[in-house]
Amino acid sequence: MSYEIIRDPLWKNIRVDPLALRLVDTPAFQRLRYVRQLGLAYLVYPGASHSRFEHALGAYHLAQRALALFAERGMEREISPDACRIVRCAALLHDIGHYPFSHALEEIGALHHEEVARPLITTGAVAAVLREELGPDAPERIMALIRGQSSSPLQGLISGSLDLDKIEYLKRDAFMCGVNYGDIDVERLLDSLQLVRDETGDSTVGISEKGLSALESLLFAKYQMYRNVYWHHAVRSATAMYKRLVEGALRAGSLDAATLAAFTDEGLLHELAQRAPTPLLAALRERRLYKRLFECPAAELPPEAGEWIADDRALVVAVEDQLARELGLAAGELLLDYPAKTQMLGLDIPVRRRDGTVRRLTAAGWEGAINLPRLSEELYGSARWLRVFACRRVVVRRDAIIALAALTADEVKTRLEGGRLV
């Protein structure tokens, strides 16, 4: 089999087989060249202009490396060559459904990118290549891997606690941003990957006990990248502006939710400029980001406070506009931001111990190894911040915003009906 070599700044040479090359050449995959991996983070970290295209190639590369290591150890007896080809394609295609500027639009209720990927993988040019090369059920098998619903023993390489996507994006994002937070021991992690028998007797992806320290490096890298890059205050300001901008265009009918995923980053901004030019769009394109009026880490908020900000988008918009009125601002000139609570340290992975036994490492922790429950809460408390942004400086009372966040969604709605929030 002949391979094409693609030069990559992170992994150097990526060897692409003929099937992968055919998939890369489809229009759906080529769109990923123009979708930034880190959304609007390039407004803060200028080097963060890398694309989903590069990341997808990197995930494919790591899948090749992991499968080669399995073959060296004789694990190919448990997996067929056909299953390996399916996994490599799933690694390559896992982000094909991403919206412009990455995850931001999912925060306003847009269909999850994995579901957007379904028609792109099961119909059209991508599906035609997969069925021709791998059989009629190949697109559905790949979607099952991407959705974490496959019975393949290799499922964990594509979607799981230690999937290759996570290793790739943390390493690449840190490298391109020029920060050291994503310093993951990739070689050790890959070398520790194993196929082990779980509690049911089925083969699944796990790690050897010697890889636990490398796993810790992955967990801390993820926390540091959220704290310093993904949830950086200026990145979140730009993201909040972008969400409000697109949401307003959807409500006005200037954009169609069904076509959002077909746009590139610049294509969507151009469409907005043509159909719905607003001061908010001009501010975002000229990097006149909204300023912080208020911020508070989750650790200083009552338990469950502010979750309605992450979960109820319609309520958030109504609160933003009411707060703006109370502070002498126009609708859209004040924005709330509280990132959705993600599984920052979610773990569920079997570990082969030095004596050959297998033990499952979960969020309950492992004495002498990783005390995850306490660590997870501490990391959330310092990385996740509730913020209020506005187009210009006005005074807001800290205690009033904290009290508002602590209300339930129903209590907030009652205050809205009464015409006064703070």
- Cα–Cα distances (Å) from 422 to 136, 323, 399, in that order, read 59, 8, 10
pLDDT-derived band at 329 (thresholds 50, 70, 90) equals very high
pLDDT-derived band at 175 (thresholds 50, 70, 90) equals very high
User: d(Cα 87, Cα 134) in Å, to the nearest integer?
Assistant: 11
Does residue 4 have a pLDDT over 70?
yes
User: d(Cα 242, Cα 255) in Å, to the nearest integer?
Assistant: 14
Does residue 372 have a pLDDT over 60?
no
Does residue 109 have a pLDDT over 60?
yes
User: d(Cα 216, Cα 184) in Å, to the nearest integer?
Assistant: 9
Q: Mean pLDDT across the stretch 53-81? A: 91
18-22, 178-182, 198-202, 373-377: the lowest-pLDDT one: 373-377
Asked if residues 45 and 64 have their Cβ atoms less than 8 Å apart, the reply is no
Write down the pLDDT at residue 75: 75
pLDDT-derived band at 216 (thresholds 50, 70, 90) equals confident
76-80, 230-234, 301-305: the lowest-pLDDT one: 76-80
Does residue 236 have a pLDDT over 60?
yes
DSSP output for 86-150? HHHHHHHHTTTTPBTTBTGGGGGTPPPHHHHHHHHHHSHHHHHHHHHHH-TTHHHHHHHHHTT--
Which of 71-85, 157-171, 348-362: highest mean pLDDT?
Answer: 157-171
Q: For 259-293, how does the pLDDT look when each residue is reduced to its tens digit (9 = 90+)?
A: 999 999 999 999 999 998 999 999 999 999 999 99
DSSP output for 49-97? --BHHHHHHHHHHHHHHHHHHHHHTTGGGGS-HHHHHHHHHHHHHTTTT
Q: Mean pLDDT across the stretch 179-191? A: 89
Write down the pLDDT at residue 182: 67
4-13, 122-131, 201-210: the lowest-pLDDT one: 201-210
Mean of the per-residue pLDDT values of the chain:
92
Both tokens assigned to 279:
């001061």
Task: List, edge to edge, every strand of the sheet that includes 193-197.
Answer: 193-197, 203-208, 348-352, 358-362
Write down the pLDDT at residue 370: 58
What percent of the chain has pLDDT above 70?
94
267-276, 381-390, 396-405: the lowest-pLDDT one: 381-390
Does residue 300 have a pLDDT over 80?
yes
Write down the pLDDT at residue 349: 87
Does residue 377 have a pLDDT over 80?
no
Does residue 342 have a pLDDT over 80?
no
